């Protein structure tokens, strides 16, 4: 089954994390603006440099469906266990058109789950992901 068939939108989002692909209907928080901070170089003739900083904020994905015991949900549970160190890994977010062709791709480096709201669906097998919030150190962008 093509994930785009269930989507009324001409595109959808696909998250690849821990060897598993999950589709989502909506994404918020992907900042593509470069934030510059000023840095003062000490010395005889001090100069101010404008240096790009890391993006701020988290990525929120909404409206996803996955299997009940998926690797993604296990990873999210492990990230929210306060007794263990947070497992971080790279994740890839893609915008795909109705035919499944990737249009834009973000690689989220050192990503980890911050929060998730999910419930087992009664009418469909699997887990409905209401929202999934991911933190990350930085990202790289690729346009296809």
pLDDT tens readout for residues 40-73: 666 666 666 666 665 667 889 999 988 877 888 8
Q: Count of domains in the chain? A: 1
pLDDT digits (tens, 9 = 90+) for 87-112: 888 999 999 988 889 999 999 999 98
Phi and psi at 75, nearest 5°, equal: -65, -45
Q: What is the CATH number of the domain that holds 121?
A: 2.30.110
pLDDT at res. 115: 87
Nearest of 102, 87, 105, 93 to residue 141 by alpha carbon = 105
- Beta strand pairing call for 26-28 and 11-17: unpaired
Q: Considering the chain, what percentage of its residues have pLDDT values greater than 70?
A: 70
| Alpha-carbon gap, residue 139 to 74, rounded angstroms | 23
Q: Which domain holds residue 106?
A: 3-143
Backbone dihedral region for residue 119 (phi beyond 0: left; psi -120 to 50: alpha; all else: beta): beta
Find, among 16, 19, 26, the residue nearest to 105 by Cα. Answer: 16
Say what the pTM is: 0.72
Over residues 16-45, the mean pLDDT reads: 75
Measured between alpha carbons, how far is 83 from 8 in angstroms, rounded to an integer? 42
């Amino acid at each position: 089954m093509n994930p785009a068939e269930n989507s009324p939108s001409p595109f959808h989002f696909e998250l690849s994390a821990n060897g598993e692909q999950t589709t989502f209907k909506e994404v918020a928080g992907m900042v593509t603006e470069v934030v510059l901070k000023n840095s003062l170089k000490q010395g005889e003739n001090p100069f101010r440099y404008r240096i790009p900083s890391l993006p701020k904020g988290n990525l929120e994905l909404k409206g996803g469906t996955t299997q009940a015991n998926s690797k993604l949900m296990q990873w999210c549970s492990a990230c929210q266990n306060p007794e263990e160190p947070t497992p971080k890994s790279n994740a890839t977010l893609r915008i795909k058109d109705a035919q499944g062709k990737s249009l834009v791709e973000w690689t989220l480096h050192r990503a980890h789950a911050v929060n998730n709201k999910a419930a087992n669906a009664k009418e469909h097998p699997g887990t409905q992901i209401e929202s999934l919030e991911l933190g990350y150190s930085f990202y790289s962008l690729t346009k296809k």
